[in-house]
């Protein structure tokens, strides 16, 4: 595991993309085949079947460290990573191991079927022979989730350098449903005519936010506009008489959306659509709120009633494959025409519609449309250049998202809690309140939006202004006002304030405002009436 | 015999009624006993200061014209009805635990401490007492420091690699304690050792006291940064990434702190490297220190106080959290040590 540990350490210690790519490329050139495939798998979120439950891992680690389980759990909540917490609490040792990465994975697979005693013996022995980074990696092999700052983009760049293949091709090869147990390095990366897995999706094309005014985009006629939905981006694939639904996070979600099975009846085989999954009951003018969709994505299988109450519709906005051919390089206008042609035969009650293109004759008119996005249950506009190809990953230039400004409210900080992981020694999780007469009523929590400098400053303040402690939570003197930004507001019976916000975050620390000038519950109620 | 506790926790800090003095108070008082020179412990505005002879010069430098008296480690002094003495805390040069005895009852306020010998400060000496006031900056079982020699070889290997790649190695460290400890860990055969003015000021004071430190070159505005290839520069964290540091051209930055044990914190600091080195006790150090005092009552001042005191109570001590304004080991650029 030493070679992999060295790669991991280099990537983890560096903030420089070039260093990371060089280390990965070097690894991909020289590591054994099976290790290479596993490395790609691990860095793209795949992992071996879990041989030991995390409950057992926690118990065994606490036992080996000679500490009570509650103390282990407290430590875990501060470190924020189970594999790391285990590696840190166990007695310090040096690594005595020269097996390759894939040998450890094979060993983990072999213990899968063994009784618990044997599994425990294996894990304890591994902990005793692996020190530092190797021990952490071993734990990660069991628990999963290598977050090392290796994006798909960075990995494909390194692979391209190591194999002399184009990045776009490699990005596509790495998508979808492969697993290192059933694929070789040759099949995954090198084979000329790889028998393409029917479910394999295309890399999603992602847009950046528009930074300047739309006038700077040039000729109006070169641009098309659509609503920017904020539900779930998905790819619908129809191949070999089957259908597959992928999320943008590369999760296969087919079984969660059984209503899309009907699409097989009227869309020809060899079609891939990119679009937004929305809960949109038939006949309604706008899609249902995000909560309705939340209820759906929370379940792997959907009960009949939920299926009827919250039917999902794919709003397609692009066509990536047509008649079995990859048409991503054709201009957007052409793909869009084909998409419209295809949708012409789709019945009105089918779970597939095309995302409408908005009509506008000036940038001013478009800006006007944008202000009405919230009423359409959208979060703004998408601007697409008519001649744009469908690219892979986040690229500037041809596509832009032009989102609405968030809703905001000024609130008083009343509780603070320290963060975990990256923010283990800072107070970063705050509860905010608004006025209800002379009382401060908590209505939301927020964790993000401040700079590190601001978090350090507020942390020092919290330490000196704690009124009361409830475990890790500190009640602080009401003194600081923050402008809270959020994307939506809804009635909620679970919250004391009666409202729930979407994506709340701290927009600004209003050090200029005394707490008396914070907003009130009545202001929130007004927002609820307008936007709820 | 009075019923007042030997030490109590007041708005101004830790107070001894029998001797009418405070230990590391955070507001101006008449008489202050100071454990060490870091700014959250040695504050400005006291009528009279008492600290170890070794701690005083830095305190005078930092606090200006103060009325202060020095005391040797182990020397006993009567203040009112209290008998006080100072004992090595191993935190930084001159740092002390303050032992207070009233009518045979002994309390020890330990300030900040570490139990391993850093080769620079007088090593921590356990003092038997009935009640022990402890910090818990790193009071979680995930904090277990590696031997100083291992960290030294990591730092020197990094420095040598920087030098080989034509880069200046910038190592962030606080001016009192950590910087000097790092100096003694560096291998001067790798290249020249440069120091920022804030660190060199403290170096000068300690050298004048006869504390041995390796030779350093002051990197002030007169220095030509390009004339010291392969150098390592010790600078306060706030100076990393400043215009001054940019003058040195191609460089890597590193930071040495106990917090670097946590990967998330290490990555948040955006520097190139993080080395796990602290002047505070790790989990094992805190536990061994507490055991060796043989104290029954433990007062936990700063750090992971809730978790740490709960664990102590679980294990049979009588422990409680007392609120203080001590900050422990901070990662703030503008913070204290």
- From B46, B48, B133, B26, select the one nearest B89 (Cα to Cα): B133
d(C-alpha B93, C-alpha B56), whole Å: 10
Query: In this predicted model, what pLDDT tens digit does every residue of A6-40 receive, in sequence order?
Result: 999 989 888 788 889 999 999 999 999 999 999 99
b/e per residue A351-362 (b: at least 16 CB within 10 A) = bbbbbeebebee
Contacts of B275 in chain A (CB under 8 A): none
Across the interface, of B144, B268, B272, the residue whose CB is closest to A92 is B144
Contacts of A71 in chain B (CB under 8 A): 140-141, 307, 311
Across the interface, of A78, A84, A422, the residue whose CB is closest to B268 is A422
Query: In this predicted model, what pLDDT tens digit does every residue of A259-291 receive, in sequence order?
Result: 999 999 999 999 999 999 999 988 888 888 777
- From A506, A504, A501, select the one nearest A490 (Cα to Cα): A501
B141, B150, B157, B259: best to mutate for the A interface, most A CBs within 10 A: B141
pLDDT given for residue B337 in this prediction: 44
Contacts of B270 in chain A (CB under 8 A): 15
User: How many helices and strands, by DSSP H and E, does chain A display?
Assistant: 18, 21
Which residue of chain A is at minimal alpha-carbon distance from B332? A456
Cα angle B184, B186, B191; round to 5: 130
Question: Exposed, middle or buried: residue A240 (CB in 10 Å: 0-12, 13-18, 19+)?
Answer: exposed
pLDDT given for residue B333 in this prediction: 42
Distance of CA B61 to the CA centre of its chain: 17
pLDDT greater than 60 at residue B336 = no
pLDDT given for residue A48 in this prediction: 83
pLDDT given for residue A419 in this prediction: 79
Take residue A194 and report the two structure tokens written for it.
Answer: 């790889």
Yes or no, beta carbons of B331 and A88 under 8 Å apart = no
Residue range B7-142+279-321, CATH number = 3.60.15.10
Yes or no, beta carbons of B263 and A423 under 8 Å apart = no
- Going by pLDDT thresholds of 50, 70 and 90, the confidence category of residue B321 is very high
- From B262, B165, B334, select the one nearest A425 (Cα to Cα): B262
Q: How far is B273 from chain A (nearest CA, A)?
A: 6
pLDDT given for residue A281 in this prediction: 87
Cβ count near A11 (within 10 Å): 20
User: How many helices and strands, by DSSP H and E, does chain B display?
Assistant: 8, 19
Could you tell me the fold of the domain covering B148-276? Rossmann fold (3.40.50)
Contacts of B143 in chain A (CB under 8 A): 88
Average pLDDT score over residue span B193-201: 95
Yes or no, beta carbons of B264 and A420 under 8 Å apart = yes
CA distances from A297 to A252, A301, A306, A316 (A): 12, 9, 11, 19
Q: pLDDT 10s digit of each residue in chain A, 532 long?
A: 889 999 999 898 887 888 899 999 999 999 999 999 999 998 887 878 888 999 999 999 999 999 999 999 999 988 988 999 999 999 988 878 889 999 999 999 889 889 999 999 999 999 999 988 999 999 999 987 777 778 878 898 999 999 998 888 888 888 877 888 888 998 888 887 555 678 889 999 999 999 888 888 989 999 999 999 988 999 999 998 899 999 887 778 888 899 999 999 999 999 999 999 999 988 888 888 777 888 888 777 888 888 888 999 999 999 999 999 999 999 999 999 999 999 998 998 899 999 999 999 999 999 999 999 988 888 899 999 999 999 988 888 899 999 988 899 999 999 999 877 767 778 999 999 999 999 999 999 999 999 888 998 999 899 889 888 877 789 999 999 999 999 888 888 878 888 999 899 999 999 888 999 999 999 999 888 887 7
Contact A331, A387 (CB under 8 A): yes
pLDDT given for residue B19 in this prediction: 97
- Going by pLDDT thresholds of 50, 70 and 90, the confidence category of residue B334 is very low
DSSP characters over B121-186: SPPP-----SEEEEEETT-STT--PPPHHHHHHHHHHHHHHHHHTT-EEEEE--TTTHHHHHHHHS
B26, B138, B161, B262: best to mutate for the A interface, most A CBs within 10 A: B262
Comparing B7-142+279-321 with B148-276, is the CATH topology the same? no
pLDDT greater than 90 at residue B312 = yes
Pairing of strands A380-385, B8-10: unpaired
pLDDT given for residue A292 in this prediction: 82
Across the interface, of B311, B323, B332, the residue whose CB is closest to A71 is B311
pLDDT given for residue A152 in this prediction: 79
Across the interface, of A88, A92, A425, the residue whose CB is closest to B331 is A425
Contact A332, A388 (CB under 8 A): yes
Contact A332, A357 (CB under 8 A): no
Domain ranges of chain B: 7-142+279-321, 148-276
Across the interface, of A71, A460, A463, the residue whose CB is closest to B307 is A71
Pairing of strands B217-218, B193-195: parallel
Tell me the angle at which helices A33-43 and A17-30 cross, rounded to the nearest 10 degrees.
Answer: 150
Residues of B with CB under 8 A from a CB of A: 140-144, 146, 259, 261-265, 267-268, 270, 272-273, 304, 306-307, 311, 314, 321, 323, 325, 327, 331-333, 335
Yes or no, beta carbons of B262 and A456 under 8 Å apart = no
Q: How far is B264 from chain A (nearest CA, A)?
A: 4
- Alpha helices (runs of H) in A44-80, residue ranges in sequence order: 54-65, 69-79
Residues of A with CB under 8 A from a CB of B: 12-15, 65, 67-68, 71-72, 74-75, 78-81, 84-85, 88-89, 92, 149, 420-425, 452-453, 456, 460, 463-464, 466, 469, 471-472
pLDDT given for residue A195 in this prediction: 53
Contacts of A425 in chain B (CB under 8 A): 259, 265, 331
Which residue of chain A is at minimal alpha-carbon distance from B146? A92
Q: Provide the mean pLDDT of chain B.
A: 93
Q: Which residue has the tokens 């910038």?
A: B170
Across the interface, of B140, B263, B273, the residue whose CB is closest to A75 is B140
Across the interface, of A72, A79, A460, the residue whose CB is closest to B262 is A79
Across the interface, of B140, B273, B335, the residue whose CB is closest to A78 is B140
């Amino acid at each position: 595991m030493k070679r992999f540990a060295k790669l991991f350490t280099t990537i983890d210690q560096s903030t420089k993309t070039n260093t990371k790519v060089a280390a990965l490329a070097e690894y991909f050139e020289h590591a054994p085949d099976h290790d290479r495939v596993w490395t790609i798998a691990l860095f793209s979120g795949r992992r071996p079947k879990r041989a030991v439950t995390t409950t057992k891992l926690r118990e065994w680690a606490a036992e080996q460290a000679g500490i009570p389980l509650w103390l282990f759990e407290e430590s875990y909540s501060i470190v924020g990573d189970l594999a790391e917490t285990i590696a840190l609490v166990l007695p310090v040792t040096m690594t005595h191991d020269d097996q390759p990465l894939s040998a450890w994975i094979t060993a983990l697979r072999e213990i899968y079927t063994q009784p618990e005693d044997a599994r425990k013996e294996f894990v304890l022995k591994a902990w005793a022979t692996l020190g530092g980074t190797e021990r952490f990696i071993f734990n990660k092999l069991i628990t999963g989730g290598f977050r090392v700052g290796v994006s798909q983009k960075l990995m494909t760049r390194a692979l391209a350098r190591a194999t002399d293949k184009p990045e776009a091709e490699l990005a596509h090869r790495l998508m979808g449903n492969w697993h290192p147990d059933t694929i070789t390095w040759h099949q995954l990366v090198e084979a000329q005519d790889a028998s393409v897995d029917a479910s394999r999706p295309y890399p999603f094309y992602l847009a950046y936010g528009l930074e300047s005014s739309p006038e700077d985009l040039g000729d109006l006629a070169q641009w098309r506009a659509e609503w920017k939905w904020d539900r779930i981006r998905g790819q619908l694939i129809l191949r070999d008489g089957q259908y597959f639904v992928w999320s943008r996070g590369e999760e296969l979600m087919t079984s969660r959306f059984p209503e899309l099975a009907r699409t097989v009846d009227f869309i020809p085989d060899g079609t891939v659509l990119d679009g937004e999954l929305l809960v949109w009951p038939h006949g309604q003018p706008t899609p249902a709120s995000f909560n309705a969709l939340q209820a759906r994505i929370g379940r792997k299988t959907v009960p009949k009633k939920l299926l009827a109450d919250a039917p999902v519709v794919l709003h397609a906005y692009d066509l990536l494959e047509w008649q079995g051919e990859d048409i991503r390089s054709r201009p957007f206008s052409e793909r869009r025409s084909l998409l419209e042609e295809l949708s012409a035969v789709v019945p009105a009650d089918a779970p597939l519609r095309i995302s409408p293109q908005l009509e506008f004759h000036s940038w001013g008119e478009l800006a006007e449309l944008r202000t009405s996005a919230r009423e359409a249950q959208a979060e703004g506009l998408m601007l697409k250049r008519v001649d744009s190809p469908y690219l892979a990953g986040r690229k500037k230039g041809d596509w832009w998202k032009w989102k609405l400004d968030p809703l905001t409210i000024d609130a008083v900080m009343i509780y603070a809690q320290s963060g975990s992981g990256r923010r283990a020694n800072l107070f970063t999780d705050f509860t905010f309140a608004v006025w209800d007469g002379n009382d401060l009523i908590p209505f939301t929590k927020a964790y993000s939006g401040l700079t590190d400098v601001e978090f350090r400053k507020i942390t020092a303040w919290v330490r000196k202004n704690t009124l009361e402690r409830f475990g890790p939570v500190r009640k602080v003197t009401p003194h600081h006002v923050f402008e809270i930004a959020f994307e939506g507001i809804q009635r909620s019976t679970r919250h004391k304030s009666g409202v729930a916000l979407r994506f709340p975050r701290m927009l600004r620390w209003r050090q200029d405002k005394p707490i008396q000038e914070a907003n009130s519950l009545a202001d929130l109620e007004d927002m609820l009436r307008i936007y709820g | 015999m009075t019923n007042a506790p030997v030490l109590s926790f007041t708005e101004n800090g830790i107070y001894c009624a029998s001797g009418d003095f405070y230990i590391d108070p955070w507001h101006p008082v008449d008489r202050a006993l100071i454990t060490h020179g870091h700014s959250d412990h040695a504050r400005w505005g006291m009528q009279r200061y008492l600290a170890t002879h070794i701690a005083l010069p830095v305190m005078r430098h930092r606090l200006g014209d103060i009325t202060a008296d020095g005391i040797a480690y182990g020397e006993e002094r009567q203040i009112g009805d209290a008998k006080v003495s100072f004992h090595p805390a191993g935190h930084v040069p001159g740092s002390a635990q303050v032992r207070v005895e009233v009518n045979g009852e002994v309390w020890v306020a330990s300030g900040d401490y570490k139990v391993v010998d850093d080769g620079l400060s007088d090593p921590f000496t356990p003092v038997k007492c009935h009640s022990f006031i402890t910090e818990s900056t790193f009071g979680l079982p995930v904090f277990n420091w590696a031997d100083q020699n291992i960290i030294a070889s990591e730092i020197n290997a990094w420095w040598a690699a920087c030098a080989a790649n034509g880069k200046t190695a910038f190592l962030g460290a606080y001016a009192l304690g950590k910087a000097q400890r790092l100096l003694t860990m560096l291998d001067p055969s790798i290249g020249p050792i440069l120091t920022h003015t804030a660190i060199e000021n403290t170096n000068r004071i300690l050298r004048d006291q006869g504390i041995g430190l390796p030779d350093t070159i002051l990197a002030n505005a007169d220095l030509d940064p390009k004339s010291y290839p392969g150098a390592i520069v010790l600078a306060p964290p706030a100076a990393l990434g400043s215009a001054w540091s940019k003058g040195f051209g191609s460089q890597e930055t590193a930071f040495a702190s106990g917090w670097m044990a946590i990967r998330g914190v290490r990555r948040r600091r955006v520097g190139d490297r993080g080395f796990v080195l602290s002047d505070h006790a790790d989990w094992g150090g805190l536990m061994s220190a507490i055991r060796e005092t043989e104290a029954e009552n433990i007062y936990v001042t700063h750090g992971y106080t809730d978790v740490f005191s709960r664990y102590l109570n679980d294990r049979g001590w009588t422990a409680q959290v007392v609120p203080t304004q001590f900050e422990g080991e901070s990662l703030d650029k503008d913070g204290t040590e």
